[in-house]
Every structure is written in structure tokens, then in C-alpha cells.
Amino acid sequence: MLMTRENQGSDYFMVRLSSRDFSRLSRFVYEQCGIKMPEAKKTMLEGRLQKRLRVLGMTSFAEYIDYLFDPSENNQELVQMIDQVTTNKTDFFREPDHFDYLREQVLPAWWEKCGTRRLMLWSAGCSTGQEPYTLAMVLSEFAASRNGFDFQILATDISTRALDQARKAVYNEDLLAPVPQALKTKYLLRSKDRQSGLVRIVPQLRARVKLRRLNFLETDFGLREPLDIIFCRNVIIYFDRPTQARLLQRFYDNLRIGGYVFMGHSETLSGLDVPLVSVAPTVYRKMR
């Protein structure tokens, strides 16, 4: 058992992750979630999983991995482990030119052609909810001047911890700095305890966002009808190229003709054999 005392006089011990156990864990994460865990992530993985070992009363990563891999346990440890190792970085109005393009180009054209039905949008990899609630604000503002415009946002993530935060829709007021003041006034509720610095998304926006857990490696996404728009930004960078290609092909298959895929500014379809056409920086469209 490889352990070190982090602080003299403390009962807390740091369990070290051997290269062999890291290899086993990283391979398992890739097989289950498609997420790459290179050697550079070893220290991060070691640190994030300490809490799980303490909760389970385990004193080595070898013991933890045996428990994680044991099919007879039939437990939710995979979900707990994924919650610890996934990164949930997001902001309101992150990469704002995407929302400008949505507001100025995509929505007016869609309304003119398809306004008699509900617009279906998917925030794929929604993290703690900032993206889908930003989208709900933008779509609600568009609806305010278009009688009959209707929309629904599906928001999914692999992390149950992130989804719990998204369902609460409570955020520190500092995180709302990118939101225009007019939208803050309309769509945010301040806590009765003004010293807390907390705000909550209004109920009418929360009702527009359907949250659920989804692993991109699942064979069935559970989508009941084709989508008009998919936001999947700063997510596929964690996958290798073959996994990226398979995922984007599935996005394509679930889009209506004319539908859009918005990706993060650090992501590209270059070199991937996916029949989506670039129409703006990191915005792609299904043309046929």
C-alpha cells in the first residue's frame, strides 16, 4: 500500500496512483466514455479520486479498480467516478459570436420557413447549465416579437453532479457578468439573502430546458424527433479522432436537413469524413 501523510498530525492520507493502475483506469474511462486520459492527466486523476477512496474506505487504487471492474457489484460507482474525472468548465454567453449568429442568421431563416412547428435544440455536454440557459434567454427574446414561436431545449451531460447543479439553476452573481443587464432583470431572481450573492434562473426559462444524463457512447441517444440545432462546444476535444468522427456522424443522422451544429472555437471538422458544411467559424450545416 503506497500512502503518504499530507499534513503532520492529520488523519488524511494521500493514496498514490501507480502507472499500472493509471493505465487500467485510463483505458476503462476511454472504453466507457470515449474520453482520452494521457499520462499527463495522471496527477489530476489521482487527486480527484481520493474522495471516492475515502468514502468507500479503501486504501489503494488497486482495490478501488477491482471494485469498479467487478460486474457482480452492480453499483453506481462508474457514475461516481465519471463525476470526479470530467471537467465542467462553462460560462454564460461563452463564445458570444455563436449567439449572435444564432439570433441574426439561424432563427430568422428558420422562422420564415418552419415557424409553424416547435424548434428543437440540443445542448450536448451542457455541464452546469450556463449554455442551455443562455440559449433559453436568446430564444425567449426572439419569441417575444414572433407570436407563435415555440421551442424546447434538451440539455445533456455525462456528469450527474453537473446536472444536479443545472437543475437547481442557482449561480453566484459574479458568473452572470457576461449577461446583458436587460436579460438579468428579466430572467434572474435574486436571493432574499442579498449578502449571499446568489441568483436563480426564472421558472419560465427552467421549464424550457429538459435535463438528462447521456453518455455519448450509448447506442441510443433517446431522441424522439429530429433536431434543428445542436450545440456541442468544447466537448469533442476530449475524444480521439475516430470517436469524434463517429459522434459527429450521429449528430448528422439526428439533424433535420438544414439543421446546424455549433462547435467550440478550439474544435474543427478538418480531416473528419462527416458530411457537414461550414457556414461560419465553427458552425456547420446539414445540407442534404
Just list the catalytic residues: 48, 157
Please tell me the distance from the alpha carbon of residue 153 to that of residue 208, in angstroms, as a whole number: 6
Angle of helix 160-168 relative to helix 77-85, nearest 10 degrees, comes to: 70
Contact 177, 221 (CB under 8 A): no
Reference 132, options 184, 94, 158, 160; nearest CA is: 94
